[in-house]
A and B are shown apart, each in its own frame.
Chain A
């Protein structure tokens, strides 16, 4: 069961892709693990873990072709039930500018933040774009250290907020 593959499918978005892909997998005996589907710039993108016997390409290639998707398969190490609970949250909001992601994540990585989830988007309009990024991550260092690490960027006018997340278990 821990013989996992990571599938990546990318293409023009259209209704019913998830249903077609997962049905083909199910009909041919593949198990689904964790998955993430996103629409990025009007494109359909999905990454999903599957496990099963043999090669998955013969099952999915015809479906991908029919839906106009590109399929990529990687054998992976790893397993389910290995989530890390994030304890740090970072928000970046500001005028769109080159290098903002690299600068923020670079400083945070150096200070000890391991990024678990990152989502970024460009809102606003073509004339006045607004850059928005959300990060959930894990760090063993105090949140103050991470805040210190981005303070230079804050001084340069980038709106970065670093805060702790206390996950409630009950």
Chain B
């Protein structure tokens, strides 16, 4: 397995729309293992998306089972062609990104989501998620649509005054 190079903003590839995965072959399995190794090599990343290593395909990995304060979670997930089918509620939270070192800011995300995806072999998956895990999914899904969290930062300071500016990631699709 290999730790892949993480692209840093303003790399143009981070702004591209990623394509659906159609072939679930050995090459894909190898890539997923490399992607996970890359996530673990990063500083405390709970998720990573394939375009962050320059592969413009709809593959993300999320694992929020290791937070300081435990949060509801589904453990380690490889999600292929993920799609959010329902959003509910809004919540502000602080985010950073492997592709934008040394910057964090407050972003509004949906609190509860329903998610459809495929596993690494193409089998269908369905999840209901909340809070921090739902936030991680939305952050990674944004990467697949060429969107970075800095495009959504509403405040670097207090989260007292919440503005509802949430847009679906799909709006970045050309």
Asked if A97 CB lies within 8 Å of chain B CBs, one says: no
Contact with B along A96-114 (1 / 0, CB 8 A): 0000000000000000000
Query: From B62, which residue of chain A is reached at the shortest CB distance?
Result: A170
Closest Cβ of chain A to B39, distance in Å, is 9
A86 within 8 A of B: yes
A166 within 8 A of B: yes
The B85-128 residues at the A interface (CB cut-off 8 A) are 93-98, 101-104
> Contact between A170 and B140 (Cβ–Cβ < 8 Å)?
yes
Question: Which B-chain residue is minimally distant from A168 (CB atoms)?
Answer: B95
Within 8 A of A (CB), among B31-71: 42-49, 62, 67-69, 71
A85-141 interface (Cβ within 8 A of B): 85-86, 89, 91, 117, 119, 132, 134-136
A168 and B132 in contact (CB under 8 A), knowing A85-B96, A85-B104? yes
Asked whether, in the complex, the Cβ of A168 is within 8 Å of the Cβ of B139, the reply is: yes
Instruction: State the CA gap A137–B46 with chains docked (Å).
Output: 22
For chains A and B in complex, what number of residue pairs have CB atoms within 8 angstroms? 73
Give complex CA distance A164, B42 in Å. 22
Q: A78 → chain B, closest Cβ, in Å?
A: 14
B contacts, CB < 8 Å to A:
42-49, 62, 67-69, 71, 93-98, 101-104, 132, 135-136, 139-140, 156-160
Q: Can you identify 15 A-B contacts, CB atoms within 8 angstroms?
A: A81-B101, A83-B102, A83-B103, A83-B104, A91-B158, A117-B158, A164-B69, A166-B94, A167-B104, A168-B95, A168-B96, A168-B135, A169-B44, A169-B96, A170-B47
